[in-house]
Structure formats: structure tokens, C-alpha cells
Amino acid sequence: MAAADIVDSRSALSRAWNNKEARSVILQILTVALLFGFFFYIIRNAVINLETIGKGYSFTFLSAPASYDINQTLIDYNSRDTHFRAAIVGILNTLLVAVSGIILATIVGFVLGVLRLSKNWLMSRIVYCYIEIVRNVPVLLHILLIHGIVVNTLPVPRQSPSFFSESVFLSNRGLYVPSPLPEPLFWATFIAFVGGIVGTVLYKRHARKLQEETGRILPVFRVGLGLIIGLPFVVFLVTGMPMNWSYPELKGFNFVGGVAMKPEFLALWLALSLYTSAFIAEIVRAGILAVSYGQTEAAHALGLRTNRTLQLVIIPQALRVIVPPLTSQYLNLTKNSSLAIAIGYMDIVATIGGISLNQTGREMESMTIVLLIYLSFSLVISLFMNWYNKRIKLVER
């Protein structure tokens, strides 16, 4: 009986292996199991070695005082706070550079990509030279160059020029602008703003559905502008303008009050944005050229102007070619922000992966945190861009 069972089991395994789909699943399971086994062995070996030298593997150091200052923070922080709070400050600083850089790089890249195809020979050549020069120089050199320009060419605080009725100052210590101080009733304005965004989205869907069914075009832009800007402004006035401002003032050798954009942030933001915009410009150019010129001719035959043709016909079709490589540029910009340590900008690498690591001697733990943070950022960007890519893809009827 046992021999018969063995023969049946072998026969079942043979049939499963000969089946293409079953064999594929078996190979995937074995591959995943081998990968997990490999990582388990590496991690276990690292933990044993750390325990042997008396370190262990623990994140308790995050609750200890950091004992170092950070030059730019988005939340309250001082040297008596913990390493965990220092890590939060570093994460927020990294997010600030990444998000600001992606926005500016996208705007500049799209503009340069369109100008690269301009019929104006001089404009096209200027943009071409800019793209070739910028993208063929390492991004670290761009960061150091712009930082050197900001620090060495801008005036000291006492000689810095003022703008907008002496409320904005630019010096080698950074850009100082007024900071808003919301009062208790400001929540009504914020709710009106959020409601305006929701209302605009719903109205846009209604306008699109109405256009598909009847051909009637509703003024989405003007209505959206009124909901997002006009409605909060009216609520702001009705509630008695519940907002004060903190203005920068020169006291001693530096400015006090307001919000300061430090030269390290300015240099990193501009360098990453301009460097990435050169690649985005070529991606945009390739995407526009991928759209058949017959689409442009058809739009012109319908009486559409060049700018409307670009907005309504060319760009929507080009986005299907632009978005996939654009995702890679967003990921590169986010990861290149780790070069901030070269100019002293305190991001996650400089805080938890730099000073905290050196103070506590927790190399494995610190690097684990840094790696997981960048992995999380990259996955979020990839998920969002993949969602957007599916949203704009061609749908066959």
C-alpha cells in the first residue's frame, strides 16, 4: 500500500511539473523561498556578529538625546530632543527638497521640451545648448556651483536688498519671507479651501459627462477658480481675516522672524530641479514627436490655434509616452537629494545616517532606517505614477 502511495505521489508531481502553469507557480515559490532564505541567513549572521562584539541589534538609541542642532527645520526641534525627532526632521527636509524639486523640474522641463521644438531657430538652439551642458555635468558639481554662487555672491544681511515693502530679504544667509500666523477662526477658511477642491473635482466630472452626452462645454476653469480661490477668500473676509504675519527684521548680524529658506536648501533645490529638468525636456520632446503630425493638421483644420492644439490634442496623447520615463526622473531626483550632505543640508542622510550614526555607533540600525525611508519614498512615487499612467492610457471601445 505504501509503495502504491509513493508511485501515485510521484505521478502527481510529474503531471504538475509537465503542466506549464503549475511549473511556473512551483518555480516562483522556490525562487521566493530561496530569496527569503538568503536574506534570513544574511540578517541572522549580521545579528550574531553584532552580539559577539557587544552591540546587538536594537533601535533603543532613537530615544536618547540627539545633542546636535539642525540648521533648517519644519517642526520645533532643539539639541535636547531625541534621535527619533531628529530623524523626523531629516525626513521632512528630504520630502521638502524632493517635492519642491519635482514640481519645479516638471514645470521647467515641460517648458524647455516645448521650446526645443520651436520654429524659432535661436530659441531652439539656446534650449539645446542648455540641455546638453546641464545634463552632461554631474549633479554634485551643479550643487556645489550653485551653493558657491549663493554663499559668495549674495550680500551679507546688513547689505541685503529688500523687496515688497521691505518684507522680503535676500542674502547669503538665505531668502527671508513673512510667515503666516493663523488665528483660531482660520479653520473655516481652510475648510472652505478643501471644499472648493472637492467641489471642483465633482464639477469637472459633471462637465465631462455632460460634454460626452450632449457636446455642451461648461466653464470648468472659471468655476474651479471661483471655488478654490474665491470661496476661501470670501470666508476669510467674513470671519474677519483671522491671520497675522511675522515679518523678518534685521537684529544684530542676521534676520529674526519670518520664514528662512537657507542657502543650502536653495542650492540643493535649484541644482536638482535644473539638472532633472534637462532630462525631462528631452522626454517631453520625444513624447511630442511620437504623436503623428496628422493630429496637428487635423486640429488646425478644425480651427484650433497652436496653443490649444498643444493643450488639447498633442500633450494628452504625448503623456502616454512621457509618463513612464518621467517616473524614473522623479525617482532619480528623490535619491539624488542624498547628496545634500555635501553642502550641509540636514536631510535624513545627514541626520540619522550621519551625525546620529557617528554618535551612537549604530551603523546597521541607522542604515536600515535610511534605506527603508528611501525605499518607501520610491515605492510611493512609483505607485502614484503607475496609477496616473493607467488613468491616461488609451481605452479601446
396 has pLDDT over 70: no
4 has pLDDT over 60: no
304-333 mean pLDDT: 86
CA distance 333 to 273: 8
For 59-95, the pLDDT digits (tens) are: 888 888 988 888 888 888 888 899 999 999 999 999 9
Q: Are 159 and 255 in contact (CB under 8 A)?
A: no
366 has pLDDT over 80: yes
187-213 mean pLDDT: 88
Identify the top-confidence range among 11-25, 154-168, 287-301, 313-327.
313-327
Structure-derived torsion over alpha carbons of residues 143, 148, 149, 152, reported in degrees to the nearest 10: 160
CA distance 358 to 372: 19
CA distance 87 to 346: 10
CA distance 194 to 319: 28
**DSSP-based three-state secondary structure for 169:** strand
For 211-249, the pLDDT digits (tens) are: 878 878 788 888 888 888 888 899 888 888 888 888 888
377 has pLDDT over 60: yes
16 has pLDDT over 70: no
Q: In Å, what is the CA distance from 381 to each residue of 35, 75, 113, 328, 371? A: 25, 24, 22, 9, 16
Q: Are 145 and 206 in contact (CB under 8 A)?
A: no
Q: Are 161 and 155 in contact (CB under 8 A)?
A: yes
**Among 51, 321, 50, 268, CA closest to 147:** 268
Q: Please state whether beta strands 174-177 and 259-261 pair in parallel, antiparallel, or not at all (unpaired).
A: antiparallel
106 has pLDDT over 90: yes
Least confident residue range of 80-89, 161-170, 290-299: 161-170
In which band, very low, low, confident or very high, does the pLDDT at 152 lie, cut at 50, 70 and 90?
confident
110 has pLDDT over 80: yes
In which band, very low, low, confident or very high, does the pLDDT at 181 lie, cut at 50, 70 and 90?
confident
Instruction: Provide the pLDDT for residue 157.
Output: 81
Question: Cell numbers 544667509 correspond to what residue?
Answer: 173
Instruction: Provide the pLDDT for residue 389.
Output: 87
CA distance 278 to 106: 10
Structure-derived torsion over alpha carbons of residues 79, 82, 88, 94, reported in degrees to the nearest 10: 50
Q: Grid coordinates standing for 125?
A: 538652439
Phi, psi of 106 (to 5 degrees): -65, -45
Query: Between these two residues, 5 and 137, which has the higher pLDDT value?
Result: 137
5 has pLDDT over 80: no
288-313 mean pLDDT: 81
Q: In Å, what is the CA distance from 352 to each residue of 53, 113, 289, 361? A: 22, 38, 45, 11
Query: Between these two residues, 393 and 183, which has the higher pLDDT value?
Result: 183
CA distance 365 to 16: 44
Instruction: Provide the pLDDT for residue 370.
Output: 92
Question: What is the value of pTM for the model shown?
Answer: 0.81
7 has pLDDT over 60: no
Question: Mean pLDDT for the chain?
Answer: 85
For 238-286, the pLDDT digits (tens) are: 888 888 888 888 887 778 877 888 889 999 999 999 999 999 999 999 9
DSSP string, 277-290: HHHHHHHHHHHHHT
Please give the order of strands across the beta sheet that includes 174-177. Answer: 162-163, 168-171, 174-177, 259-261
21-45 mean pLDDT: 85
